[in-house]
Amino acid sequence: MGSVTEIRRGTLQEQTFYEQVGGEETFRRLVHRFYQGVAEDPLLRPMYPEEDLGPAEERFALFLMQYWGGPTTYSDNRGHPRLRMRHAPFTVDRAAHDAWLKHMRDALDDLALPEEHDQTLWKYLTYAAASMINTPD
């Protein structure tokens, strides 16, 4: 997923996707905007067990940063992601999936990343969201 960048000393170094899109700040902005949508969503908001969405926002941001090649703080704190297992307590049906993706689309639109980066993230997020469905209609 990296691209090759020439750095000053003339050596070649791989740049992760995490770095290409702007690192921690970009992922924090994305996830913060996403949770603003969740906070207002009548279907999704009641699914979140904690009153304060801050800790959930933190976990999700750290997960995405790690996934795209940033620091491994997520797994240092939480262990292996096992995302399907961690979603098992929640009813993730088609409606929840659609609402989740809608807020994610809004958040990505707000970020206004270059088209190629936007598409890379969106493709991953739509694929991951479909794989999280655990309750048939």
Interface with ligand HEM, residue 92, by CB under 6 A: yes
Strand partners, 100: none
Interface with ligand HEM, residue 32, by CB under 6 A: no
26: three-class secondary structure by DSSP: helix
Tell me the closest approach of the beta carbon of residue 56 to ligand HEM, in angstroms: 4
- Letters for 42-81 (x = contact with ligand HEM by CB under 6 A, - = none) are --x--xxxx-----x--xx--x--------------x---
Q: Which two tokens stand for residue 43?
A: 């279907």
Tell me the closest approach of the beta carbon of residue 118 to ligand HEM, in angstroms: 16
Q: CA-to-CA distance for 15 and 29, rounded, in angstroms? A: 21
Interface with ligand HEM, residue 30, by CB under 6 A: no
Give 33 or 87: the residue with its C-beta nearer to ligand HEM.
87
Strand partners, 6: 12
What HEC string does 82-125 produce? CHHHHHCCCCCCHHHHHHHHHHHHHHHHHHCCCHHHHHHHHHHH
Q: Which residues bind ligand HEM (CB under 6 A)?
A: 44, 47-50, 56, 59-60, 63, 78, 83, 86-87, 90, 92, 96-97, 100, 125, 128-129, 132
